[in-house]
């Protein structure tokens, strides 16, 4: 929505900044969007901010600052990357973020400061109808949060989990290794470590299509069957992976020093479905005893 068509969006200059931002922030929160025409992420974030300014209908004021035209304002606020968004209250910056957050991330940022849409707007756009946050969006949101609170170790664990969901195992491992001792022993950290160990198993291994071809050609290719089950587990097909491992246990209980049993026990550590795990444990016990 162009700023001119939205009463809650204002273009600021050095001449009107005191009135439109500092003085206005004494009456309502002001979100200042530092942007530039050449900035790609600004083009992603700008329409989101303008949409929400209209939807929130006065719960906050959006002020846009073109940094190419207002370099002095950008320097005063220490803007080093674009877009940069700052929340001003009572004439003072109280929080902010850098980069193009998704709509959900901006809503969460506003909600943390008690800024909510009006009742009518809330009925038009229920939070439940927002699209689920993608792994990449979660990584971006958590990185922004850590930039604001670098000493908050809990955010580092959440970031490690988000990196894992995004498929970036190296980044997940780096964040996990950097956790303080109290969080490194947390159940969530142990589960993530188990997931990373499983992912490491298939690094450099043949792809799924190759493994399927190998097992089709030779049902006794236990190594291929094992790796295929790990692929399924890492890709989120928990039930399929457990079925494959149970079949491997039934066919080759002693192969590779009981590898199938070891894989099953490792899988139990990373699967959230308690009922599936319990059912598989019973089936495993019946095969072993």
> Is residue 235 annotated as a catalytic residue, yes or no?
no
Q: CA-to-CA distance for 144 and 212, rounded, in angstroms?
A: 41
Catalytically annotated residue among 12, 32, 42, 173: 42
User: H/E/C letters for each residue in 159-215?
Assistant: HHHHHHHCCCHHHHHHHHHCCCHHHHCCHHHHHHHHHHHHHHHCCCCCCHHHHHHHH
DSSP 8-state code for residue 271: -
> Is residue 42 annotated as a catalytic residue, yes or no?
yes
Largest Cα–Cα separation, the chain: 82
Catalytically annotated residue among 31, 39, 106, 145: 39
> Would you call 119 helix, strand, or coil by DSSP?
helix
Q: CA-to-CA distance for 156 and 143, rounded, in angstroms?
A: 9
Q: CA-to-CA distance for 221 and 57, rounded, in angstroms?
A: 64
Other CB atoms within a 10 A radius of the CB of residue 251 amount to 13
Q: What H or E segment, with its residue span, contains residue 33?
A: strand 30-35
DSSP 8-state code for residue 20: I
Beta strands (DSSP E) in 67-187 are: 84-89, 92-98
What positions carry a catalytic annotation?
Answer: 39, 42
């Amino acid at each position: 929505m162009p700023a001119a068509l939205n009463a809650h969006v204002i273009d600021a200059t050095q001449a009107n900044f005191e009135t439109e931002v500092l003085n206005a922030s004494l009456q309502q929160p002001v979100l200042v969007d530092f942007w530039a025409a050449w900035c790609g992420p600004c083009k992603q974030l700008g329409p989101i901010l303008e949409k929400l300014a209209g939807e929130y209908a006065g719960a906050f004021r959006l002020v846009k600052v073109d940094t190419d035209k207002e370099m002095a304002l950008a320097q005063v606020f220490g803007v080093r990357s674009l877009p940069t968004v700052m929340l001003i209250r009572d004439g003072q910056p109280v929080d902010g973020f850098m980069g193009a957050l998704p709509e959900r991330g901006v809503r969460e940022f506003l909600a943390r400061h008690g800024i909510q849409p009006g009742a009518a707007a809330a009925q038009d756009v229920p939070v439940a109808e927002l699209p689920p946050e993608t792994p990449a969006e979660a990584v971006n949101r958590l990185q922004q949060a850590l930039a604001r609170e670098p000493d908050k170790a809990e955010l580092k664990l959440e970031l490690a989990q988000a990196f894992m969901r995004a498929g970036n195992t190296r980044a997940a491992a780096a964040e996990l290794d950097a956790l303080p001792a109290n969080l490194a022993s947390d159940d969530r950290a142990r589960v993530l470590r188990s997931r990373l160990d499983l992912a490491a198993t298939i690094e450099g291994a043949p792809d799924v299509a190759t493994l399927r071809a190998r097992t089709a050609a030779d049902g006794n290719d236990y190594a291929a069957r094992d790796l295929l089950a790990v692929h399924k587990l890492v890709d989120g097909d928990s039930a399929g992976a457990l079925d494959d491992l149970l079949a491997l246990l039934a066919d080759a209980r002693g192969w590779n020093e009981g590898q199938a049993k070891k894989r099953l026990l490792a899988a139990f550590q990373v699967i959230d479905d308690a009922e599936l795990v319990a059912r598989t444990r019973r089936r495993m016990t019946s095969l072993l005893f």
